[in-house]
Structure 1
Amino acid sequence: MLGFSRRRLQILFPSRSNAASSLMHPHVTRLYTSKPMSGSTQDEKDGSFAVSYLVDSCGLSPELALSLYKKKRVRFASPEKPDSVVKLLREYGFGETHVSKIVKKLPEMLSLNAEKILLPKLEFFVSVGITGTALAEALSGNPIVLRMSLENTIRPCYAIIRTLGIPNGRIPRFIKYSPYSFNVKALGNVARNVPFLRSLKVPESTLDLCRPHNLLAVSTDAKEFDENVNKVISMGFSPSSFSFMKALYVSSVLEESKLEQRKEFYKKSGWNESDILLAFSKYPSFMVLSEEKFSSKMDFLVNKMGLQPAEVAKYPWVLLYSLEEWIIPRYSVIKVLLLKGLIRLEQFSLLGTALMCKKDYFLHRFVNKHQEQVPELLSIFHGKVGLAELGLEFEETDGVKQI
């Protein structure tokens, strides 16, 4: 695998030994055409080293490594600094996958002074009991913390987090999922807003601050937060309901004008006012979908699968599932089984069972028990084989109900 990566790298970025000769070949694209030829060779040598380091030592693909270098997000021509950073992380329990994730998100970190900038922050987290894998998971998920000031941001943020009632064992998870809220102002808002929600009897299970959407919903300033809470309650959401925090999140990220705009768009897609209210009451989060994504999924569910728009409104969470990775593969399995007479639609709910059930249940009910008759089912489920390859197509008809 390493040899293969290096061969790909040589194609993308000439090595030190052949960089100069490549520049003279008329069919090779120069990487630094804006600079004089006499000055470009050293640049390419430096770039070749940096890109090679990202691939060989950090596990990045050659394409991503080259892209990061071209965007000037990595700038080192020798291994001293990046080696010291990687070595330090390994000493604190970061595995290869953790290091790779950090470098992908924050490649600039490889140019930092490991001892002066990174070590004190790692020592702080260890001192408060966040160590080993927990530390690696937290900071590889939210590496920007490593660029923050220890005294001005990390310490005060941690002090606020300790007041939020989060169990010690879940604090690393909180840090991991708070990339937009890990700052003193936002966490100060959280500390003010969370007690108010608890006073309204919002259950801890739905208030869970380790969920990014919940955290964003409670990190707004006092005036905006109070307005959002009042609006959600006035819409009929009880603070004790499962959907309350989801509705609060939607209200915090979409302004009133945007909500109205979305409602008009949904009506053009086939929903009436009752459908919109039903879908929103069941699963408000669908409203954060872009109009493009909503339209593409609704188009497939209605025009390819033959469902009525009102049926989709009863199961709005299906709109959050990936069309390519979840909806199409599952429907493809169902369509093949129906065409072969191995199942009947009266036996199950297309939306409620086939599209909404857990992976293991779907495999047990619709794939494993029919593999002898249809060996391709598992490949269809994993998206490796499409209906077109089996001589079938998604048709613009009343859908699967007429098969």
Structure 2
Amino acid sequence: MFGFCCKRLQLLLPSFSTSVDSVTRLHCFRKASHFSRSYSSKSLLGSEIDKPKEKDGSFTVSYLVNSCGLSPEVALSLSKKRVHFKSREKPDSVIKLLKHYGFNDTSISQLVKKFPEVLGVKPEKTLLPKLEFFSSIGLSGIDIARALCSNPSILKRNVDRNLRPCYDIIKSILVSDLEVVDFFKNSYQLLTVKSVSNIAQNVSVLRKLKVPESSISYYATCQPFVMSLEKEKFHQNVNKVMSLGFHPSTSTTFMKALFVISTTDSSKWAQKMDFYKKCGWTEDDFLVAFSKNPLFMNMTEKNISSKMDFIVNKMALVQPADLAHYPTVLTYSLENRILPRASVIRVLLMKGLITRGDFSFNSLMTYNKKKFLDKFVVPYQPQVPELLSIFAGKMGLVELGIRV
């Protein structure tokens, strides 16, 4: 027990020497608080010497910049609202402990930026138990850093009452340590025994419906909110998705549809449908699009409007109803994918080098870059040398005298 305490003290007090004899160790341990105030300023984390006359706010900003790698602007903002300390003693001990458990400068900077309060905790009481817990369940230092940087609220949870029971439950339904790490990264406010128990129950429901394991694992770890709903609500959402024609065991979009249904209330659903009707879709068009790719529902109205206007009105490549059969296209970037490809096709059509029967709108948008170039750019460069520049976004249609 004494040896364990000494080891902890070594982590928390940078200048605690391992060369002293046992009597000196005991003396140092009893006088730790006095000793820690006088340890060398040449810590592992920086070489600045405490300046007693320096204003507290200025010192905090200086420390956040020089020892944590934050920008002066971010450091100033955090020092005003979220973190404040008068000396480097405690934050030095915190960062030394983090480094001992595998954090590098980048991950420390990320954690402090998201949760600067970590620098003010009592390392041995608040921080060390969590780090020891994650290490004990087999997570590497890199994994621990990833989990805490992505979800610093973990540091507010009690190990015995919360983290360990949650781990035991989630480990019973997932297989790999990587999946467990992903869960702790994405769980945010769901780290309660109740929420995790709901996940376990709902995973059981999906397995009975023969939903593919890969889909279950992804949503249990990366979108845990959907899986953490109360049993009755979860069953309602599953039944609604199935009523829309999605088959749990065969449809690759079943879980996507469940995600959208779980995060879209009835008023928002009606609002979305009204919007697409204004864009030229019927209710049937809307449901066809949803059946093919439910995630298009998560796009903002502004984003969708700009894409439909460009494709339908400016490029005149398809009618609004046609897009209902290619909803995935609406999830692509207008600037990086839709615009350059549509521009190339528009040029080729205008010059009579291809006809509308030579391509499928869906295909020309879903082709990988090489296939699109090989099919629609390279063969026609002798007649239109500017095609590659148009595809690369270096030249617009207006420069070729084509009005859009």
Q: What is the TM-score with the length of structure 2 in the denominator?
A: 0.73
CA distance in 2, matches of 1:343, 1:89: 62
Equivalent position amino acid for 2:173 in 1:
L
After superposing the two structures, state which structure 1 stretch, 113-122 or 366-375, moved more: 366-375
2:289 maps to which of 249, 268, 279: 279
Give ranges in structure 2 of 5+ residues lacking alignment. 1-51
Q: Are 1:149 and 2:155 counterparts?
A: no
CA RMSD of aligned residues (A): 3.7
Q: Are 1:66 and 2:76 counterparts?
A: yes
1:271-307 CA-to-partner distances (Å, cap 9, x unmatched) read: 1122211110011122133333333333333334434
User: Could you say which residue in structure 2 is the equivalent of 1:316?
Assistant: 327
SS of residue in 2 equivalent to 1:108: helix
| 8 A Cα contact 2:153 2:189, kept in partner | no
Give ranges in structure 1 of 5+ residues lacking alignment. 1-41, 397-403
- Alpha carbons of 1:176 and 1:213: their partners in 2 closer, same or farther (altered >3 Å)? closer
2:121 maps to which of 91, 112, 121: 112
CA distance in 1, matches of 2:217, 2:229: 16
User: Could you say which residue in structure 2 is the equivalent of 1:215?
Assistant: 224
- Alpha carbons of 1:205 and 1:308: their partners in 2 closer, same or farther (altered >3 Å)? same
- Alpha carbons of 1:391 and 1:238: their partners in 2 closer, same or farther (altered >3 Å)? same
Q: Are 1:183 and 2:186 counterparts?
A: no
1:75 maps to which of 77, 81, 84: 84
| 8 A Cα contact 1:157 1:183, kept in partner | yes
- Alpha carbons of 1:168 and 1:293: their partners in 2 closer, same or farther (altered >3 Å)? same
User: Could you say which residue in structure 1 is the equivalent of 2:144?
Assistant: 135
| 8 A Cα contact 1:367 1:377, kept in partner | no
- Alpha carbons of 1:347 and 1:43: their partners in 2 closer, same or farther (altered >3 Å)? farther
Equivalent position amino acid for 2:321 in 1:
A
- Alpha carbons of 1:394 and 1:131: their partners in 2 closer, same or farther (altered >3 Å)? farther
User: Could you say which residue in structure 1 is the equivalent of 2:364?
Assistant: 353
CA distance in 2, matches of 1:162, 1:269: 46
| 8 A Cα contact 2:174 2:217, kept in partner | no
Q: How far off is 1:174 after superposition?
A: 2.2
> Radius of gyration: which is bigger?
2
| 8 A Cα contact 1:189 1:219, kept in partner | yes
Indicate the percent of aligned positions where both proteins have the same amino acid: 50
User: Could you say which residue in structure 2 is the equivalent of 1:170?
Assistant: 179
Q: How far off is 1:142 after superposition?
A: 1.8
1:1-400 matches, within 5 Å, as 45-70=55-80, 72-209=81-218, 214-240=223-249, 241-306=251-316, 307-324=318-335, 327-328=338-339, 348-354=359-365, 356-358=366-368, 377=389, 381=392, 387=396, 391=399, 396=404
Q: How far off is 1:100 after superposition?
A: 2.6
CA distance in 2, matches of 1:392, 1:79: 63
Equivalent position amino acid for 2:252 in 1:
F
CA distance in 2, matches of 1:180, 1:376: 49
Q: How far off is 1:212 after superposition?
A: 5.8
CA distance in 2, matches of 1:217, 1:234: 18
| 8 A Cα contact 1:304 1:394, kept in partner | no
| 8 A Cα contact 1:103 1:110, kept in partner | yes
Equivalent position amino acid for 1:193 in 2:
N
CA distance in 2, matches of 1:44, 1:391: 61
After superposing the two structures, state which structure 1 stretch, 297-306 or 129-138, moved more: 297-306
User: Could you say which residue in structure 1 is the equivalent of 2:32?
Assistant: none
Q: What is the TM-score with the length of structure 1 in the denominator?
A: 0.73
Equivalent position amino acid for 2:116 in 1:
P
